[in-house]
Amino acid sequence: MGRGFAYLGLPPFYVGEIALAGCALILAMAMVMGYLSAPRLPIALLLFLGWCAVRTAADVPQYGVFALRDAAIWGYGAFAVIVATVVRRAPYRAAILTWYRRLSVLLLGWYSWLALAKLISAEPIFPNSPSGVPVVVVKPGDIAVHLAGIGSFLALGFHAGSGTHRVGRSGLRAGILWILWAFCFLYYGSHNRGGLVALLVAMAALGALAFRRSVVPAAAIGLALILVAAVRPWERDWISGRQASPRQILQNLKSLTGSEDAFLEGTRQWRLRWWRTVIDYTFYGPYRWTGKGFGPNLANEDGFQVRPDGALRSPHNGHITILARTGVPGLALWLGLNAWFALRVLRRLRSWKRAGRPQWAQLAWVFCYWAAAFVNATFDVYLESPQGGIWFWSLLGLGIALAYDSAGDRSTDPSDGKPRFRAVAGRGSWSVQTP
**What does the radius of gyration of the chain's CA atoms come to, in whole angstroms?**
22
Q: Residue 254's pLDDT is what?
A: 56
Q: Residue 416's pLDDT is what?
A: 41
Residues forming beta bridges with residue 424, ordered by sequence position:
431
Please tell me the pTM assigned to this model.
0.84
Taking phi over 0 as left and psi of -120 to 50 as alpha, with beta for the rest, 258 belongs to left
Q: Residue 252's pLDDT is what?
A: 57
Rounded distance, CA 186 to CA 155, Å?
A: 18
- In the 8-state DSSP scheme, what is residue 158? G
Q: Are 371 and 201 in contact (CB under 8 A)?
A: yes
Q: Which amino acid is at 318?
A: G
Rounded distance, CA 269 to CA 121, Å?
A: 31
Cβ-based burial of 142 (10 A; exposed 0-12, middle 13-18, buried ≥19): buried
Residues forming beta bridges with residue 426, ordered by sequence position:
429
Rounded distance, CA 407 to CA 126, Å?
A: 49
Query: Which ranges of the chain have pLDDT less than 70?
Result: 12, 89-90, 122-124, 130-131, 161-171, 211-266, 405-435
Distances (CA, A) of 19 to 44, 66, 96: 25, 20, 17
Q: Residue 61's pLDDT is what?
A: 93
Sign of CA dihedral 291, 294, 298, 302: negative
Q: How many other C-beta atoms lie within 10 A of the C-beta of residue 54?
A: 10
pLDDT digit string (tens) for 157-213?
Answer: 887 764 444 444 456 787 888 889 988 888 888 777 788 888 888 888 888 887 654
With b for 16 or more beta-carbon neighbours within 10 A and e for fewer, the 318-327 pattern comes to bbbbbbbbbb
Q: Are 412 and 102 in contact (CB under 8 A)?
A: no
Q: Residue 433's pLDDT is what?
A: 37
Distance of CA 230 to the CA centre of its chain: 30
Rounded distance, CA 263 to CA 269, Å?
A: 10
Instruction: Report the DSSP pairing between strands 9-10 and 422-426.
Output: unpaired
Domain ranges of the chain: 3-433
Q: Residue 78's pLDDT is what?
A: 94
Q: How many other C-beta atoms lie within 10 A of the C-beta of residue 400?
A: 27
